[in-house]
Structure 1
Amino acid sequence: MSALSRLTATETRLFFREPVGVFFVLAFPPLLLVILGAIPAMREPDTDLGGTRPITLYVPIIIVMGLALFALNVLSQMFATYREKGVLRRMRTTPVKPQAMLGAQLLMSTILSIATMLAVLLIGWLAFDVGLPRQLPAYLVGYVLAALAMFALGLLVASVAPNGRAAGGIGMLLFFPVMFFAGLWVPRDAMNDVLRTISDFTPLGAGVQSLQDATAGHWPQLLHVAVMLGWTVAAGGLAARYFRWE
């Protein structure tokens, strides 16, 4: 635990030395919510959305966007870069094994993504009167399952990418479709039946619906829990199969 704590602190310091990355994964999601909330139409009930205000729907969407940015950009690029530069290979000759680096990266990403989630929830609540989750345990379950699915996908990208630049490119290619089906461009409530069904079987589509259900006071649906667990097992298993330390 001591080695893990020190590695996590070191990796966090290194992360904050990259201002562009810090902005996009930490500051951009809350800023996007503020920008959307500044649009009057986003704060008014929309009949096409069943009378729901669009800003209410965008809070969970922006929260999972933070997870996607961490998983597909930070986590995948860091591991691919460390392997490319021989950092993981050299670590195998020290008492601190590469697995500790994996744990440190996951712990850092989890802590910082939770901070982003809290910032988005508070801004939505204080600035735009978006209700806080009525079923907090269910909300945490949905968030953790979405995080596991996305981090597993990020590690899969890191396992197949030959270098950090390629990991960044693959991550961005995946980011846009997963966020489309999460509802970033068209909220799930406004999707037609075909798109919503496809969204139900994507990690963040299931994640967004689980967070919406928990906000309304319900537990996540079994379908969405199964989808997120399935992505975690499938992507995590492939990542473990193909990941190379050097």
Structure 2
Amino acid sequence: MSLGKRLGAEFFGTFWLVFGGCGSAVLAAAFPQLGIGFAGVALAFGLTVLTMAFAVGHISGGHFNPAVSVGLVAGGRFPAKDLVPYIVAQVVGALAAGAVLYLIASGKPDFSAGGFASNGFGDLSPGGYSLHAALVCEIVMTFFFVFIIMGATDGRAPAGFAPIAIGLALTLIHLVSIPVTNTSVNPARSTGVAFFASTAAVSQLWLFWVAPIVGGGLGGFVYRTLFEPARR
């Protein structure tokens, strides 16, 4: 498959992740009578990855996340020469989704952007968690996300079930970490909405690039080191 087609798949996959996941928070969870709550938001993020992994995973590998791309490079599953183009496509897709979501949300008469499903620590953390708590949480959660991706897509794993495992993993990650950082584990997802928030989300964006990339890189490296068959 050509690089252009793979980048297109990453664009649309990341767009859907941000639009579906963050959209569930901005448009649906804001209305208690709809009853989705934060558990519904967690499920929405998992469903975005599951559906797009089935739809375009066979085209691009279904990363939709710079931290996953970095982790797969560290795990020996993805060529480093394609890393930057993939990250650019993912970030552009996320920003496009944030813009469309903002356009829809601002159509409500009493609209206020507020946090706009952005990530944060301290005053911007849903539970008021500190910088160091957010840093550790994002590193650990992204580590296990990439570790699970590596295992689920291993040639020795049951064929055809990887998108389900990966989608459920992302749901579980959100159920645990929404109170801490509003859950990133994805620098593109964080970037896609931060610029539309009326808070100081952009000033904290650095953490949601550094921590997921560190965690993702470690996840890929550890799985490759411990569990990949020895390369001759």
Which TM-score tier does this pair reach, normalised by the shorter chain? 0.3 to 0.5
Greater C-alpha radius of gyration: 1
| Bigger proportion of residues as helix | 1
TM-score normalized by the length of structure 2: 0.46
Q: Higher RCO, 1 or 2 (CA under 8 Å, sep at least 6)?
A: 2
TM-score normalized by the length of structure 1: 0.45
